[in-house]
Copies of this chain bind each other. A is one copy, B any other.
Amino acid sequence: MKTELEKVLPSEIERRSFEIITKELGGKKILPGTEAIVKRCIHTSADFEYADNLVFSEGAVERALRAVHKGACIVTDTQMAKAGINKKKLAEYGGEVYCFMSDEDVAKKAKEIGTTRASISMDKAAELAKPLIFAIGNAPTALMRLYELIQEGKVKPQLIIGVPVGFVNVVQSKELILSLPDIPYIVARGRKGGSNIAACIVNALLYM
């Protein structure tokens, strides 16, 4: 082994990780009130680019926290993101997580129309009569459909976490969300993101 193991108690690993992140961020300017989210994204990815690419609409964190504390539910576009969200903590506020990606009716309709399951799963989510936070870490088509549903007045999210990852229409789908005037958002500008980042932003809100 090249380096000695650091002696850290299990219960201290996360605290120690955040110490290291804070130290390495140095004097980097981070929007006040968003530090816990930015640092948790770095903690989840070991990628300091999240200190630069996360964009928060004005008051997004406060509005998101109010929604969470009032029992808003989370909609994800992958089972992975759903698995990564602290559902026990969310349930303490009365919320739960929905992911419709594996539903047979969603797969069937997507095939019929010639679109993605992610897109159809947004239609299904829009029918939920609940305050919703959308945590999209994978499919730009989910964000694009969500944008349309908002324009059509069919859904009004409490928050959009727009962090799909990838190479085809990912950047563009995020720019669509950034153009929304009235919907709170947290977006990872550019190509990066992922189900892990989507889940970690939800968890950061739950732990604040």
Contacts and interface: CB of A to CB of B under 8 A. Distances in A.
What copy number does this chain have within its complex? 2
Interface of A: 1-6, 8-10, 13, 16-17, 20-21, 43-47, 78-80, 82-84, 110, 114-116, 141, 144, 165-172, 175-176, 179, 190-196, 199
21 contacts: A1-B175, A2-B172, A3-B175, A5-B169, A8-B169, A10-B115, A10-B141, A17-B166, A17-B168, A21-B167, A43-B167, A44-B194, A45-B194, A46-B170, A78-B83, A78-B84, A80-B80, A83-B84, A194-B194, A195-B196, A196-B196
Contacts of A83: 78-80, 82-84
Contacts of A16: 167-168
B45 A3 contact: no
A183 to B, nearest CB: 16
Given A10-B114, A46-B193, A195-B80, A172 B3 contact: yes
A116 B179 CA distance: 44
A195 B121 CA distance: 24
